[in-house]
Amino acid sequence: MLRIDGTEGEGGGQILRTALGLSLVTKTPFAIDKIRQKRKKPGLQRQHLTAVLAAARVGSAHVQGAELGSTEVVFEPQTCTAGHYEFSIGTAGSTTLVLQTILPALWSADGPSTVRLVGGTHNPMAPPFDFVQQTFAPLAHRMGAPLQLELHRHGFHPAGGGELTATIAPAAWTRLELLDAPTKREVGARILHSSLPASVPVREANALRRRLDLREHQVSIDEVASNGPGNVVLCDVRLGVVHEIVSSLGERSVSAEQVAERAAAEVQTLLAADAPVGEHLADQLLIPMALAGGGAFRTVAPSLHTRTNAAVVERFLPVAIAMREDTAAGNWVVEVRAR
């Protein structure tokens, strides 16, 4: 049985999610301890528990430690089964992170699946629905892994209540390389809000136009239905074949201008790197590229989160993940290759 220290590297929930997903694909049992010990609230929170239970159901796994607050989990998978699944987090926890956990298993199953998830769709420290649908899913499709997504209702933190449906078909993996500097670069933005003063998204839009030198028509504002108030700035950055979504969530005690500035700063960092893959997409591409047996991309400086994720992937799959700085180009090259 593979043993994993939950405090390794970044020490967050991604270690558990990646381990669950790849355990299902490889049928490798594992035990993890000190789960999220570096966080203010250590152990399994509702979102992480839902991911464990979802993985167990998809893979008919035997699980120990699947309860709120648990810092140790033993996971022994059997066979991944295609089908229709429904999971409700019960809080505003991220639906996209739960989906991320079981995607590798459903791509490796013997038939198509649908997954209905209820919870948060736009959360801090998690990919928003728009990123998964518009950035990740098209690239997964290019790697031979079909994924279609539909958003039925927005769910902002802390109210939650959002709903999405994912349709997944078995993958026929193929290698993907994203190494060329983007020859065409376009930037725009969408601001979504619910139950907030109209001045908030207007101030965000004005701040984005100033910081990114955007024209009036390049920033749109949409009011959406949700169970509670919420707001997200979504910057659309088209870099050749990649459509990056850079996001910033509105928060209490954080001004509209600051929310917009955070997104704009990340966009400028990505553009300055002259690379097609942003920090968060780099994280998301590691597992499908490893399942495809290899791949490569140019990106900004890899985060500790990405490096930690890579280390977990290497423990489950026969791949090596190399990250090197290309000082001449001003960016980094990440290569996933078979061992």
What amino acid positions are annotated as catalytic residues? 305
Which of helix, strand or coil describes residue 321? Answer: strand
103: nearest Cα among 243, 308, 291, 242 = 291
Cis upstream peptide for 124 (omega within 30°)? no
Please name the residue that has the structure tokens 């959406």.
Answer: 224
Q: What is the DSSP letter of 182?
A: P
Contact residues for 22 (Cβ-Cβ < 8 A; gap 6+): 28, 104, 287, 312, 313, 316, 317
129: nearest Cα among 146, 139, 117 = 117
Contact assessment for residue 319 and residue 290, using Cβ atoms and an 8 Å cutoff = yes
225: nearest Cα among 100, 122, 91, 89 = 122
**Partner residues linked to 64 by β-bridges:** 74
User: Rounded to an integer, what distance in angstroms lies between the CA atom of residue 248 and that of residue 128?
Assistant: 9
Measured over all CA atoms, what is the biggest interatomic distance in the chain, rounded to whole angstroms?
Answer: 57
- Cα angle 27, 280, 20; round to 5: 15
User: Rounded to an integer, what distance in angstroms lies between the CA atom of residue 48 and that of residue 100?
Assistant: 12
User: Rounded to an integer, what distance in angstroms lies between the CA atom of residue 223 and that of residue 156?
Assistant: 13
Backbone dihedral region for residue 253 (phi beyond 0: left; psi -120 to 50: alpha; all else: beta): left
* Residues making up the chain, counted from first to last: 339
User: Rounded to an integer, what distance in angstroms lies between the CA atom of residue 142 and that of residue 301?
Assistant: 24
122-155: b (≥16 Cβ within 10 Å) or e: bbeebbbbbbbbbbbbebbeebbbebebebeebb
User: Rounded to an integer, what distance in angstroms lies between the CA atom of residue 180 and that of residue 236?
Assistant: 19
